[in-house]
Chain A
Amino acid sequence: MKANGSIEERFTRTWQSLPGISGWIAEVNNRPLGLRYMVTALAFFSVAVVMALVMRIQLAVPDNTLLDPDTYNAIFTMHGSTMLYLFAVPFVEGLGLYLIPLMIGSRDVAFPRLTAFGYWMYLFGGLVIFSSFLFGEVPAAGWTAYTPLSGPQYSGSGVDFWLLGLGLVEIAGITAAIEIVVTILKLRAPGMALQHMPLFAWTYLISGFMILFSFPVLLLATLLLELDRAFSFQFFNPALGGSSLLWQHLFWWFGHPEVYIIFLPATGVVSTIIPVFARRRIVAYPLILAALLIVGFVSFGLWTHHMFTSGIPELPMFFFTAASFMISLAAGVQIFAWIATLWGSRPRFSVPMLYILAFFFIFVNGGLTGVMVATMPFDWQVHDTTFVVAHFHDVLIGGAVLPFLAGLHFWLPKITGRMGGKTWDRVAIGLIFIGFNCTFMPLYAAGLFGLRRRVYSYPEEMGVGTLNLVSSMGAGVLALGFAVALLSLLWHARWGRPAQSDPWQGGTLEWSVTSPPPPYGFRRPAVVADRYPQWLRETAGGPATEPDGGDDYSKELNRVAAVMDGRPAGWRATLVTDGTNGRPQAVQSLPGPTLLPLWIALVLLGATIFFLGQRYLAAAAVTIPALALIAWWATQNPVQDRQEAEELTARLKLPLLTSGRLSTGWWGTVGMLAVLTTVFGALIYSYFYLRLYSDQWPQADLPLPQLDFAPLIFALLAGGGVALAFSSRGWRRGSRPAVLFGLAAAIALGLGFIAGLVWLLLVEPFLPSANAYASIFFTLHGFVLLVTLTGISLLIGVLIRVIGKDEPFSAPRLMLWLQNSEMLWYFAVAAGLAGFTITYLVPRLL
């Protein structure tokens, strides 16, 4: 809004981070936050490596008494949990948050405040889990927390720290996924059609979708287990109709995609680095893309291969062996595409390239032993032995950590403006390679000789003492290698040789900006016509490029880019483009620095702490300010300089305030609904799973829910949906009274439904703690209750807005509010009706 200063100065000031500590806390820009994610993740990684060293020291000799069983059990639980929940996925997210906008030509991600919120949730969740050390109640149920071992009867409060901290971290993961998916779909550079998108971005897009359909199931599972533990629900208690296998199914439905969520972006890093050092375009891009998509889908069809020994009928389980083989094919295709790209290229053996070579050796080894372990009868022998431990470290360290290290070294110049090292990093790679193989190859053999995993010691008579000693020595070398690599990165980040913007002659867009990038990323949006826009730019000799569609199209794209050069100067914004062909559609406002995400995260942390301290009412009460803050957040309008807005609209001929498919907010709501659908789907699955394995349903002679008033009460909910449809129609016809009436009626009917549903639940002659049937009955309806309450809150907000503000009906923000609240409401109606059908009608019909 400042009139003083040139447009350029205003533009830079708009995007500048605020100074000082409050500025650091209020940060919403993707690059500082992505860096923060990565640094935090690497800190957790280091702690977990130390834990691994302690474990390996204990296991170096047979019958060792350095650690007692309980300490060892706590350490391996924390090692696995830290690596998988607090390092691997957050690091992937941090790398993506930093690089994706740069690579696709966007100035920021779609929801900057959500990014900040996600980071705080991640940090707080990790701290909650580690705070268990302070109370001497460290979780010791493994990173998989099988029930009933992790239930109230067999585990202490360490598992509560684990469950609640993990819940916060899961929420961070889910919000990051929504960010990344919407950013990649809607905020790409003009002309960047899907087929021009770098493979790195594709891996993140697919991983993002995978997170949306897998993480919510873990979130639900941890919620159900915490309900068992805190409120005596019986989901996982076989004595009262629950099932231990239900946890395993829910967990591994998440757990298997989780490892591909970590692995796919790592392959994206490899697919980025190899072409640069081979100085060639990647070979067989379409085949690689097909492979990535297959991995994304098929990874959801593998989960039972973690349960081969659980007594499930063998022939159906064999299907999961076949599916696991199929996914290994998809992974394998990429290997050969990379080899083809390297063939005869005489690549530069830079540090990132050497990491990639180490990756080839270790990962292919791990992939092949993975095929072995996926072979069901063989798994019956090696399941829960160190053979499996060696396999998954092969694929996780080889297949993920090594590419991450390669990526850190590769992008260090871009992130810090300084080049990485050469000598010490090569030493590190050698140490890591030798150390890794010395650590884990002996464990394959030890597993074949019967050494189990998760044991604090083993007897001498087993004959695996030498193997373990070699393994422990290797672990020391490996840890040293990691230390040297990370320290070298840190040192060179501060004191390395200054780097230009494109030290490697990379082909993708991030190399077109300065090192480090300016706070706005791209002053002028890049116009893209190729997978390697930087290389095309170099050969063409100028910024103008020829995207698909011929001359006029390219002129139009360049015209839009020219208008957006350093604009808008008064507020943060980036171009929105079509999801498939990259045609500019709108300009999306983005928020500047704010403390709001921290406040909301602190409130949720407060609720978590109260819950851990068993002050449940206080925990529930604390969520009210959280909801209030979210509601306030939603009432805020983006601040746009009116004069500049009019000028830009006229010149660009694109809307600056949007609704519907042109608006990132709309897509964000769709993403959230995908998450909620996944949670509800998992609840329905749990209902039918428990029913399938019960002799009678409802269990223990509990009565079926009475049909007297229930249909009427659920009809109120459906009626709310009808009222909203009426309101929509009224809005389309410009009839304000119709809109007001429809909204008010929907709210009233919704409140009536809430009251009725609460009454229905209270009137049941049993409590949720009676048995598993009771637990799932209450939880299904409880979910509907919460979603409907949220829907009503949003509608109240819209109603107040329609009454209070003098907005024209065509105002895009009003439209967006109406659309998003409607979508959530229709979901609530669908969920409510499904819940009613499943709990009231299906038991009577089937």
Chain B
Amino acid sequence: MKDVTAVGGLSGFRVIIGASLLTAGALLAGCAGERPRSILDPVGPGAEQIASLWWQMLLVYGSIFAATMTLLVLALLVRRREKSPLGFRFVFTAGVVIPVLALVSMLVVALKVTGSLQGSSEALRLEVISHHWWFEVNYPDHEVTDANEIHIPAGRQVRFELTSAGVVHSFWVPRLGGKRDLLPEHYTELHLQADQPGVYHGTCTEYCAGTHALMGFRLVAHEAEEFSRWLERAARPRTAPDDPRLKQGQKVFMTSGCAGCHTIRGVARGRIGPDLTLVGARQTLGAGTLENTNGNLAGWIANSQEIKPGNRMPRSFIEPQDLHALVDYLRSLQ
């Protein structure tokens, strides 16, 4: 029974190692470019700490990997001998002592990172309640309710108080920090901070069946003053529209069954779907699924099932002129 010679088998092995390194190279090459959900592109202290932790771990564990593979290759290459020159001491040193040193130091680093991610009591409070495939957002001290878009001041820590109205979901803004689950039985907490103003992507990150893939949100960080202005504007009492077209749109809203599910402050109170008081100004529709444009909004109202199958909003049968008026009206809600 002949086997491939040691040299033959080993050169094959080297080829394979080389091929895999090329693949790893492809991975590194993939690091460049604009990526709105990358945890390696942090914009907040939480994400920064964790990204830094990642690079340290990559260095330490990558070195251990390289060292282990080197030892393996050496083991196969060194000259033949009857008994192994390595025994208990080698195995203990390489397998226990050195890894313990590495692991304990990484443990200390990780503990420090965990400690630094603790929240402060000065944080701004926000409440987020997850529903099946959308996020309800409440600003408790200002009686503002929104959906699928969160506005915060940059440079200040925010404490998110999270719970779910149904199944377990998860709340995640990768560029700001780690995620936290939203549980139906009690509140959980997450502290995040954006260092710079900007728009950041967030997603549900615990499988919740159906269109879990299309359950996301935008987090908008403002300069401090701009945030106060936004909040004031959002909290102001709503008046009836003057423009006859918008009036027509509001009428369509009230008579087409929309008010049964959706709330518009001062106009309608529906408890099933997202609050639409601020829908006109949102960046996205359908919980981060579509860009908020007239066309998309009309399409969503006409038949959201085509866009986000299984979501709780049925298709509608509104006449085209009425639909246009409705869209204009909704886009005016800011």
A-to-B contact residues, CB < 8 Å: 68-70, 73, 140-142, 146-149, 154-155, 238-239, 242-245, 280, 283-284, 286-287, 309-311, 314, 318, 321-322, 325, 328-329, 332-337, 339-350, 353-354, 357-358, 360-361, 364-365, 368-369, 371-372, 375-385, 419, 422, 426, 430, 433-434, 437-438, 441-442, 444-445, 448-458, 461-464, 466-467, 470, 503, 693
Could you tell me if A442 and B27 are in contact, using CB atoms closer than 8 angstroms? yes
Measured between beta carbons, the chain B residues less than 8 angstroms from A287 are 88, 91-92, 95
Q: A374's closest neighbor in chain B, by CB?
A: B110
Which residues of A are found within 8 Å of B114, using beta-carbon distances?
314, 318, 376-377
Contact B65 A364 (CB under 8 A): yes
Indicate with 1 or 0, residue by residue over B173-215, a CB within 8 angstroms of chain A CB atoms: 0100111110111101100000000000101011111111110
Is B140 an interface residue, CB under 8 A from the partner?
no
- Within 8 Å CB of B298, what residues of A? none
Interface range, B side: 35 or more
For B289, give the chain A residue with the smallest CB separation.
A459
A449 lies within 8 A of B35 (CB)? yes
Query: What are the 3 tightest A-B residue pairs by CB atom distance, in nearest-first order?
Result: A380-B178, A450-B37, A349-B9
B300 to chain A, nearest CB (A): 17
Whole-angstrom distance between the alpha carbons of A332 and B114 in the complex? Answer: 26
Chain B residue at smallest Cβ distance from A360:
B72
Q: A142-B207, A244-B185, A364-B65 are in contact. Are A148 and B86 (CB under 8 A)?
A: no
What are 13 sample pairs from A and B whose C-beta atoms fall under 8 A apart?
A69-B310, A149-B208, A335-B95, A341-B84, A344-B79, A371-B61, A376-B110, A377-B50, A433-B19, A434-B20, A441-B23, A448-B54, A463-B36
**Chain B residues engaging chain A, CB cutoff 8 angstroms:** 1, 3-6, 8-10, 12-13, 16-17, 19-20, 23-24, 26-27, 30-31, 33-40, 47, 49-50, 53-54, 57, 61-62, 64-65, 68-69, 71-72, 74-76, 78-81, 83-88, 90-92, 94-96, 99-100, 103, 106-107, 110-111, 113-114, 117, 162, 166-168, 170, 174, 177-181, 183-186, 188-189, 201, 203, 205-214, 309-310
Given A434-B20, A441-B27, A449-B38, A309 contacting B179 (CB threshold 8 A) = yes
The answer on a CB contact under 8 Å between B181 and A372 is: no
CB-nearest residue of chain A to B207: A454
B84 surroundings in chain A (CB, below 8 A): 280, 283, 340-345
Question: Do the beta carbons of A70 and B210 come within 8 Å of each other?
Answer: yes
Tell me, rounded to whole Å, the shortest Cβ–Cβ distance linking A445 to chain B.
5
CB distance from A518 to the nearest CB of B (A): 24
Answer whether A456 and B213 are a contact pair too, CB < 8 Å, given A238-B184, A445-B30. Answer: yes
**Cβ–Cβ < 8 Å partners of A335 in chain B:** 68, 95
Taking a contact as CB atoms under 8 Å apart, the answer to whether A140 and B113 are in contact is no
Q: A284-B88, A311-B183 are in contact. Are A329 and B103 (CB under 8 A)?
A: yes
Q: How far apart sit A333 and B201, CA to CA, in the bound complex (Å)?
A: 42
**Please, how many angstroms separate the alpha-carbon atoms of A382 and B208 in the complex?**
18
- B12 — which chain A residues lie within 8 A by C-beta? 354, 426, 430
Q: How far is the CB of A401 from chain B (nearest CB, A)?
A: 17
Given contacts A244-B168, A378-B54, A437-B23, contact A450 B201 (CB under 8 A): yes
Report if A368-B65 is in contact (Cβ < 8 Å); known contacts: A311-B180, A341-B84, A345-B80.
yes
Question: Chain A residues near B62 (CB, 8 Å)?
Answer: 368
Are B20 and A378 in touch, CB under 8 angstroms?
no
A283 partner, pick from B91, B188, B211, beta carbons under 8 A? B91
Once bound together, how far apart are the Cα atoms of A344 and B71, in whole Å?
11
**Chain A residues with CB below 8 A from B208, complex form:** 149
Task: Look across to chain A and name the residue whose beta carbon is closest to the beta carbon of B74.
Answer: A343
Q: Is the CB of A146 within 8 A of B117?
A: no
Of the candidates A149, A283, A311, the one whose C-beta lies within 8 Å of that of B167 is A149
Return chain B residues, CB-CB under 8 Å to A69: 210-214, 309-310
* Residues of chain B lying within 8 A (CB to CB) of residue A358: 16
Task: Give the interface centre of B31, B69, B85, B185 by most chain A CB atoms within 10 Å.
Answer: B185
